[in-house]
Structure 1
Amino acid sequence: MVKSIRYYIFLRDVLALTLICFGGPQAHFALFFDKLVKKRAYLTEEELIELNALCSILPGPTSTQTITAVGFKIGGPPLAYLTLLVWILPAVSIMTFAAVGISNLQEKSISLAFTRFIQPMAVGFIAYAAYSISMKVVRTKMALVIVIISSILSFTFNSPYLYPILLLAAGLITASKYNQQPIVEEKEKIKITWFNFFMWAGVFIGIAILGGITRSLPVRLFENFYRNGSLIFGGGQVLIPLMYTEFVNFKHYLSSEEFLSGFALVQAIPGPVFSFSAYIGALSMREYGIWGEITGAFLASMGIFLPGTFLIFFVSRFWNDLKKFRIVRASLEGISAASSGMVIAAALLLYMPLEQNPMNVGFTVGTFLLLTATKIPPPFIIVGGLAAGLVF
């Protein structure tokens, strides 16, 4: 009974957090620390920092994995899955509603001109993300070279198949410098429980085969997002270049304008940035009507969030042993640098379809400067852009 009450309180705290967590993983972590450590003492400061560090090096949404891992630590898999559901549901619901709304407006030939300012503003947000990530990861000449090469290749080839190759290659390059990492302590034999890894790999392979056989759009949509969720390092901002390349340029499920409008909106709502996937999933299945859009949003959301959940359950059991290996820590430099280069390329790729005029330049640069030079919360910036669009 006592455990049930504690679990209920924890889930209530998760709901409260997802309604106030604006920004990316760094902003979320500060709120997690205040609520989960200082006020509730669900875990220690050191434990939260360790979990966040672990999630930062795994593919998938860092904040979502961190809070799900806390639920796993407190109540095992059942509480962890409930934590995941409570954390993502508000943002996913809002983005699904937004996609359905945009689709309905277009069907009724109602102009979306009021979103014209937030499209260049969305590019400003991505440029700011590229700047912020680069400032953190570029600490060596090798990291700088990887960022430059990654951005050039991502921009030039613009293929969804390139990104995992870049991440793997960059990780291997910096892993070669493992002897520069400090020796932590003597390593013991790692004891690994493979169940959650087989769950992740089984779904990964099974859904790819099923999609290839059936050619069904819902199945392929789930496979697309599950694959992306399995390969993304660095949080929601790094997801943007992959989704834009795959769903706008490669498969043409939605237009560049629709993509930018949705990305701008996700900056204005609390919760995980990965909820943007629900928006893309819904618009990808608009030809099936409103229930098709809701189904698409559900499949995209489950596809993007499940891989990171399986992997954090798998790795958290032996992380304390794994992190003692210098080669593992050394590879993170390259992975982070390559991710940064991808985001730089994304900013350029997303800006190019916009009409090249002073207004778009002004809103892009202005948004970037507001984010770098002021403390105005992103939701207020986006609301200001929407208001300007409605007025003018």
Structure 2
Amino acid sequence: MAHDSDETAPQQAVFGAGEVFRAFLVLGLTSFGGPVAHLAYFHREFVERRRWLSEVAYADLVALCQFLPGPASSQVGMGLGLHRAGITGALAAWLGFTLPSALLMIAAAYGVAGLSDVAHASWLHGLKLAAVAIVAHAVWTMGRQLCIGSLRVGIAVAAACVCTAFPSAWTQFGVIAGGGLLGWYLLDATVHSRSAPEQTPYRRRWAVVALALFALGLVGLSPLAAWSGSHGVAVFDGFYRSGALVFGGGHVVLPLLDAETVGRGWLDADTFLAGYGMAQALPGPLFTFAAYLGFTMTPQPNGWAGATLALLGVFLPSFLLLTGALPFWDRLRQAVGARAALHGINAAVVGLLAAALYDPVIVSAVRTPADMVIPGVGVVLLVAGNLPSWLVVALCVAAASLQGVFAHT
């Protein structure tokens, strides 16, 4: 059995980090729509197209990352890279997915982006409509695979209703936990098979080291900053704490970042809000907003050094937590009781995704009934035409741009 002995080295991944970096770089340039859309893009690219993970293993990875603090979509990306090419694969996935939006946020800080009226641009509207198609396709595909039987369908529907009625990060956490309990209690007798184990390409001792480093950073950076008087350490500590203590990721981290920057007098509220507005129009994880904040802070180190410190600080907890938790999670999920709970959790994840398809994905993208035509065609192209996600995104943007031209003639 995998992981029974820490002295038995797991089989090393034979795939290169370069392959992982290239795949995630494409997604980093094209994955608009926020964390829920990112999960849909990952599912399309790495489960359906490249087959890096099975449907069940991917859903289990998503479930784990929903439980961990930090940016869930970035953690899922790291997990995919880790399974494909080990620790270097996880770093390559993070770098490829994060680098485009981080550089664009730094460009915005330089003031060269010039997209002050971006919220009304036709191309951005097309990107939002593309996200509707991608997420709808993921809900349909994952629902067919993971919501087998009336009990799991019921869990998914209940999760969608609760998340729609009470939208918050804690609600999402609660429905996933509730799905697990219902699965453990109601589905235990119906589970007869286990998924194939996903062998983690590093020893469990490194997982313990990663968890210890996470805890050390959480409790030790603040005293170190106070003792040293170093503003650089204080910046890293503030962003590290923000990345380590937020559940739900995305927009949920904004109050913490505001307290760590505006609240400390490192930059003004107008600069903060201007960068946040720009972040909404960019692909990739919203956590790259940290690069903008680190660049624009008044105290030194700022500029490129500040952006690097902030970016590493806000993402490092996610990497350490995922690396520390994944080997134990992979072993735990092989137990029959845990598998039953995971069936319930996965059904709840489908419901969560369906709720997010409505709000914020459809709510923010669809302005008129005619707007549903573009994502509708996009879903058909994904299902029947089996087109890659990036091409569907490009076609949606082109269609929305043409729609905008005709609307103004």
- Return the TM-score normalized by structure 1: 0.65
Quote the sequence identity (%). Answer: 13
Gaps of 5+ in 1: 1-6, 35-44, 72-79, 185-191, 232-241, 267-275
Residue 369 (structure 2) pairs with residue 363 (structure 1) = no
User: 1:22-75 deviations in whole A, cap 9, x for unaligned?
Assistant: 6525643688779xxxxxxxxxx9xx999879757643645633542565xxxx
Match of 1:165 among 143, 156, 174: 174
Match of 1:312 among 321, 326, 339: 326
Gaps of 5+ in 2: 1-11, 28-40, 66-71, 195-202, 227-233, 259-271
The offset of 1:314, in angstroms, is: 4.3
| 2:390 paired residue number | 379
Provide the aligned length of Structure 1 versus Structure 2.
329
Q: How does 1:49-88 map to 2 (within 5 A)?
A: 55=61, 58-59=64-65, 61-62=75-76, 64-65=78-79, 67-69=81-83, 80-88=86-94
**Alpha carbons of 1:157 and 1:178: their partners in 2 closer, same or farther (altered >3 Å)?**
same
Q: How does 1:210-289 map to 2 (within 5 A)?
A: 219=237, 221-226=239-244, 242-244=248-250, 246-247=252-253, 261-262=281-282, 265-266=283-284, 276-282=285-291, 287-288=296-297
Match of 1:335 among 345, 348, 362: 345
| 2:153 paired residue number | 144
Superposed CA RMSD in Å reads 4.4
The offset of 1:118, in angstroms, is: 1.0
Letter aligned with residue 162 of structure 1: T
The offset of 1:352, in angstroms, is: 1.9
Q: 2:184·2:340 contact (CA, 8 Å) conserved in 1?
A: yes
Cα distance in 2 between the residues matched to 1:205 and 1:179: 42
- Deviates further, 116-125 or 140-149: 116-125
SS across alignment from 1:116: helix
**Alpha carbons of 1:280 and 1:84: their partners in 2 closer, same or farther (altered >3 Å)?**
same
Letter aligned with residue 78 of structure 2: T
Match of 1:344 among 348, 354, 366: 354
| 1:39 paired residue number | none
Cα distance in 1 between the residues matched to 2:286 and 2:276: 15
SS across alignment from 2:169: coil
Q: 1:117·1:360 contact (CA, 8 Å) conserved in 2?
A: no
SS across alignment from 1:309: helix
